[in-house]
Each structure stands twice: as C-alpha cells, then as structure tokens.
Amino acid sequence: MALHDVPTLHGGCGDCPIRHRAVCARCDTDELAQLENIKYYRSYQAGQTVIWSGDKMDFVASVVTGIATLTQTMEDGRRQMVGLLLPSDFVGRPGRQTVAYDVTATTDLLMCCFRRKPFEEMMIATPHVGQRLLEMTLDELDAAREWMLLLGRKTAREKIASLLAIIARRDASLKLRDASKGPIVFDLPLTREEMADYLGLTLETVSRQVSALRRDGVIALEGKRHVIVNDLGRLLEEAGDDSDGGFLV
Amino acid sequence: MALHDVPTLHGGCGDCPIRHRAVCARCDTDELAQLENIKYYRSYQAGQTVIWSGDKMDFVASVVTGIATLTQTMEDGRRQMVGLLLPSDFVGRPGRQTVAYDVTATTDLLMCCFRRKPFEEMMIATPHVGQRLLEMTLDELDAAREWMLLLGRKTAREKIASLLAIIARRDASLKLRDASKGPIVFDLPLTREEMADYLGLTLETVSRQVSALRRDGVIALEGKRHVIVNDLGRLLEEAGDDSDGGFLV
DNA sequence: CGGGTGCTTGATGAATCTCAACAATCGTGG
DNA sequence: CCACGATTGTTGAGATTCATCAAGCACCCG
C-alpha cells in the first residue's frame, strides 16, 4: 500500500473534478470546509492493490481520477469482479471496519480519503452527506442488479456487447457528445482477463467474442484496446437490451 | 392489483413483527407516530404481481409477512430474479417514481405502505429513517454482489447448495436454533422455476441438481419442498463458500 | 536480442440447455 | 369420494455453448 508521488493537487474542493457528482455533491460551503479538514489524497499505480478483502480500513474514499475494481475470489481461485469504480464513486462502508472485496487500481488512481471516524460523525451531524450517499448506493444497487441479469442470462456475445455499450455510453456522456450520431471512439480500460472477470467468462472466450463482433462489423478495432463504435444502436441490439433502456453511468 | 381481505391488524407499530428490523428500526416514539399517520396496509395473494416494471409507484413499502421477488425480463422472455424480499425488506426508491423490476408475491404477502411524498419529506426532516435505509441498502448491495459471484462463477451444484444454505441459515436464525448442531428443516418458498430464475439456470437443471444433492446425502427431502439438512457444514462445502464466511440474512 | 505480458486461435471435452415424455400432486366439480 | 385436468416436478437423449488445454503471435522494455 505504498504511496508514490501525489500528483499536483488543486487548490481546494471548489476546483475538484468530481465536486458535483461525489458524496460531497450536496454539501454547502460550510460542510465542504468540514470535509476538507478530514480529507487527504492517496494515489496508487496501475495494478496496485488498494485494499485486500478482510483488511481493516481506517478511511472511506472517493475516486477522483482513474479506475478501480472490486473483486471477490473463491478459495480455488475463481474470481468475479463485482464493481467497477469510476471517478466520483465511493469506496468503503460507514459503520463497518473491514472491507468485503479486493479493491485494485487498474489505471493510475487518485483517491480523496476521509478518516473514518470523523466522517461517520459528520454523517450523523449533517444530513447532506448521508442523503447523497444513499442516492449513490441506490444507483449502485440498480447497476448491480442490471449486472445480475447479464451474468445469469446473457450469452457470451451479449455480455461483451453490453460491456462495450456501457463504456461507450459513459465515454460519450463524459465528452458531452451526442451518442446517437457519429462514431464513438474509446480505449478499453480493462485487459481481456479483467473483462473476463467482470463478465463471468474466460479470457479466451472474451477474445473470441471481441473478434467475432469485429468480424461482423459491429465494432472496429485499432490495436487491441482502441474501439470504434459506428452504430451504437446496432451494438445495443447485440447487447440484448431494450433499444434505449438502461442507465447512464 | 386488487386487494382482498386485509388480515387482522395489530394495534400499532409497537407490536409490529418487523419493528426492529425494518426501515423504522431506529425511529423513536415521535417519529413512529408520524409514520403511523402515513402508513396503510396492503395484502396480496401468492402469485399476484405487486407492480410491473416501469409502472408508476405512488408508495414505498416494507414487507411485513410473506415473500416477494424482484425480477427483470428481457424482450425475448429470459428472466432473472434480482432480489428476494423477506419480512422487513424495503420496496421502492425514494426520489424515483417508477420501479425498474417486476415485484411479485410468491407467498401471501402483507406490506406496510407509506405514501411516497410524505415519506420523502420525512426522510429529509428526520434523519433516522434515512440512516436506517442507507444501512439496509448497503446490506442489499453486499447481498447483490455475493449473488454476482454465484451467477458468474459457481457451478449448477454450487448454486443450488448456496441457495439452500441461505434459506437454511435464515430459517435457523428466525427460529433461534443453533445452526451448528442438529438437523435444520424447512420448506422451500420457491418453485423449481423460481429457483432457476434466481440462480440463472433452467428448471430442469435445478431439478437434476437437487436430486443429485439428495442422492449424495447432502440433503434429504420429504415431498418436493420439505428439506432436511443434517450437516450444514457439508452443505456449505458444496456451496463453495468459505467454511463459515458469508452473511446472515 | 531475449523475455515477459497480453492477446489470438485451434482442438477437444464437459457442463448446461433444449426438447420431449412422463410422473406426482392438488384442487375442483361431478 | 373419485375422476379429471392443470400445475409442478422428474428424467432422458441430443445439441450447444463455453471452458480447458495448448500453441503461437505481437508488442514492449530492458
């Protein structure tokens, strides 16, 4: 859990890129000042483990930049990713010391951490943090249930298409592009193995199905990771989702 | 959504069987009185649909007695159960009008409903309801993630064993029996098809694996639904869980 | 250049689904 | 009370999907 250099930090919460989406989204200036008192930054390199399942966690945190994953592992080594943490997502559970999953940085990662005790006290004293956290947790629960449908019922091809569609949409929304027109272009933030862990497949099956989608013209690839989606509607069809249903991340 | 006779209702929240586990668990007498003003009961017969996915929901509710399920359905009819609602569990989402899943009563069901608007106002005014709801939602999220591991990585046999183990433990905890000694006996609250929908299997595979577990002496059956677990440790082994890990429902 | 990591592709086999027939159970009406 | 149909569950045979095992390619970095 060694730190390396903390990247250039901005002035304060006012400039924070996740200010309006994270657990602090609803806080007023007063509350923000309180949070600022108990916060500190940590950064992790791509591939580093943030916490091991079962470890004690003396802080809770928001992802500021980068991507982290939550994974569960069975005794014999089978692994299932149970969450993908994007900027503004929250890690840790107020009221519980230990964490139930391995948290790993898949890209370089910057986290905004709050010391557990003061954070919990603040949750009781000021309602805005708790309210926002409830909202975020309900969203995560919805996403987890969406994923249960994928894991339980979708074919390998549909699983791949679903994952690509989710990433494509998130990327489109971040770049404020209209997802309905023009190609969407993005880099996969996950290796084939990580995709397999997320989708409940083997890495070979992931590789085959990505190739198949490319062969069938659903997506185009440049190199291994750079994906071009010319027709999002087509991709969504392949994903087996209701045409425009689902959720934006 | 027709009602039939509402069962005999107790005096007030004081006698309520879910008083100390439901969303009202932390409320003091004052707050309880407020809730009492906006609450009403509804009951549903086994098999009845409580709400259809996409429908508008003008209330939120707690399950008082009985069991309900949350299921998602794909266009072509594939179904995945994404939640099993037991007494004290909460239905509905503050801040959102529509519901994302079909909610169905699998047994006769009694729900304690709160009108949405006043409930939301109360969530803002008094913190105890929101705090408890956050806690419950975090628990549900943990359970959903546990289920993702099951759906993504466990074999059919492990899935069945896991489901039986969860029901066995819950039953043991309700009856305050020591789960570690003596046989655990319970009735399955789900049909084979519902089990299949929960586990991401077909009903035929469920049937075969239940038979296999019986043949191998892991469980005993009387009729189709009545299950006897003589050795919970053995069942947990078959479930692929860490010996004593996991969560009590 | 060599070695490592990440990825692709092929051959084979196992787990699970699909289709199909049939058995057991339950409620209902004659 | 019994016969009937409807529902629920069991079992078998064959098809399909995906995992496993194995080989080799592409790229990056020292």
Q: How far is CA A150 from the centre of its chain?
A: 17
What pLDDT is attached to residue A246? 44
What pLDDT is attached to residue B249? 40
Domains annotated on chain A, with CATH: 13-149 (2.60.120.10), 156-239 (1.10.10.10)
Provide the residue-wise pLDDT of chain B in tens; the chain has 249 residues.
333 444 555 568 888 999 999 999 999 999 999 999 999 999 999 999 999 999 999 999 999 999 999 999 999 999 999 999 999 999 999 989 999 999 999 999 999 999 999 999 999 999 999 999 999 999 999 999 999 999 999 999 999 999 999 999 888 877 766 656 688 999 999 999 999 999 999 999 999 999 999 999 999 999 899 999 999 999 999 999 875 544 444
User: Is the CB atom of residue B191 positioned under 7 angstroms from any atom of strand D?
Assistant: yes
Q: Quote the minimal CA–CA distance from A171 to chain B in Å.
A: 24
Residue with more model confidence, A172 or A237: A237
Q: How many residues are there in chain B?
A: 249
Residue carrying the six token digits 């108990």: A38
Share of chain A above pLDDT 90, in %: 82
Taking the C-alpha atoms of residue B162 and residue B152, their distance in angstroms, rounded to an integer, is 13
Three-state DSSP state, B174 = helix
User: Which residues in chain A have their CB less than 8 angstroms from residue B82's CB?
Assistant: 145, 148-149
What pLDDT is attached to residue A12? 84
Q: Where are any strands of DSSP class E within chain A?
A: 39-44, 49-51, 59-65, 68-73, 79-85, 90-91, 102-105, 109-115, 184-187, 220-222, 226-229
Instruction: Report CB contact under 8 Å: B152, A151.
Output: yes
pLDDT band at A172 (very low <50, low <70, confident <90, very high): confident
User: Is the CB atom of residue B222 positioned under 7 angstroms from any atom of strand D?
Assistant: no
**Among residues A10, A136, A135, A121, which one has the least CA distance to residue A62?**
A136
Q: Each residue of A54-95: pLDDT tens digit? A: 999 999 999 999 999 999 999 999 999 999 999 999 999 998
Question: Is A10's pLDDT higher than 50?
Answer: yes
What pLDDT is attached to residue A175? 74
CB A184 within 8 A of CB A236: no
**Could you say which of B76, B123, B149 has the minimum Cβ distance to residue A82?**
B149
What pLDDT is attached to residue B176? 67
- A156-174 vs A127-153: helix axis angle to the nearest 10? 150
Instruction: Report CB contact under 8 Å: A95, B142.
Output: no
Question: Is A179's pLDDT higher than 90?
Answer: no
Q: Quote the minimal CA–CA distance from A94 to chain B in Å.
A: 9
What pLDDT is attached to residue B170? 85
Question: Is A1's pLDDT higher than 50?
Answer: no
Q: Which nucleotides of C are covered by protein (CB under 7 A)?
A: 6-11, 15-20, 25-26
Q: Each residue of A126-154: pLDDT tens digit? A: 999 999 999 999 999 999 999 999 999 99
Q: Each residue of A186-224: pLDDT tens digit? A: 999 999 999 999 999 999 999 999 999 999 999 999 999
User: Which residues in chain B have their CB less than 8 angstroms from residue A139's CB?
Assistant: none
Taking the C-alpha atoms of residue A245 and residue B3, their distance in angstroms, rounded to an integer, is 31
Q: Each residue of A95-131: pLDDT tens digit? A: 899 999 999 999 999 999 999 999 999 999 999 999 9
CB A59 within 8 A of CB A115: yes
